[in-house]
Structure 1
Amino acid sequence: MLKKILFVALAFSLTNCLVLNPVGATVDREKGSEVASRITDAAIQTDLINSTILVGRPFISIYSLIAADIANIDSAKYYVKADVDQCVSDIKGFKGFVLGSVIANILSCQDLKTDGYLTGDPFPTF
């Protein structure tokens, strides 16, 4: 009986990431549609602040409206939350103010890690 319990516990711990990550049930993952929305909002906010300070009137670039497409975000996949948070903070932060939201997006958001069934952040890379 103890062997069965240990086997079930081991099997569950090994397959936990395989089952929970693709459905977005883990804490450190975000759905692609949410990521796209956060990146687009950050780019719009940065453009509004930069244009108001530099030009004197609010202006939104067309590139801010397609910021999620520039970052190659797939709305059906899940992304590592820490990487998304870093991307959004780069767009809203000093890098976004100095370089602009488009270039900050290209530099910070191009290599966001997606989470898959057999690959992703929970598994070690060799």
Structure 2
Amino acid sequence: MLKKLILSALALSLTNCLILNPLGATIDREKGSEAAGRITDAAIQTDLINSTLLSGRASISILSLIAGDIAKIESEKYYIKADVDKCVEDIRGFKGFLVGSLITNIISCQDINSDGYLIGEPFPSL
């Protein structure tokens, strides 16, 4: 009984991404649609703050509305949450204020690693 339990746990850990990514149950992964939404929200907030401080009027760039596409985020794939968090922090932080959300997006968000559709980092993406 204990042997079956250990083998089951080992099999589950080896196929973690294959089983849990589609369910959205992995802790350190984030679905692409959520990641793109967070990046877009950060770009819009940064544009609003920058425009209000610089010109006195709140406005957003059309490019901030497609920030997820600029970052090359695919909605059906899964991304490493720490990479997405770093990108969002850069857009909302000093770098985003200094050079703007678009350039920060291009600099900080282009190297976000995806885990593919079903399988994770050790395996090739589908």
Q: TM-score, normalised by structure 2?
A: 0.86
| Alignment root-mean-square deviation, CA | 1.9
- Alpha carbons 2:28, 2:82 under 8 Å: kept: yes
Q: Cα offset for 1:56?
A: 1.2
Q: Cα offset for 1:3?
A: 4.9
Corresponding residue of 1:110:
110
Could you tell me how far apart the structure 2 residues matched to 1:27 and 1:2 are? 27
Q: Alignment length, in residue pairs?
A: 122
- Alpha carbons 2:30, 2:81 under 8 Å: kept: yes
- Alpha carbons 2:24, 2:31 under 8 Å: kept: yes
Secondary structure of the equivalent of 2:58?
Answer: coil
Q: Which moved more, 1:6-15 or 1:27-36?
A: 6-15
Corresponding residue of 1:19:
19
Identical-residue share of aligned pairs (%):
70
Corresponding residue of 1:83:
83
Runs of 4+ in 1 over 3 A off after TM superposition: 1-9
Q: 1:9 to 1:37 in 2, by over 3 A?
A: closer
Could you tell me how far apart the structure 1 residues matched to 2:90 and 2:14 are? 35
Q: Which runs of 5+ in 2 are unaligned?
A: none
Q: Cα offset for 1:2?
A: 5.5
Q: Which runs of 5+ in 1 are unaligned?
A: none
Q: TM-score, normalised by structure 1?
A: 0.86
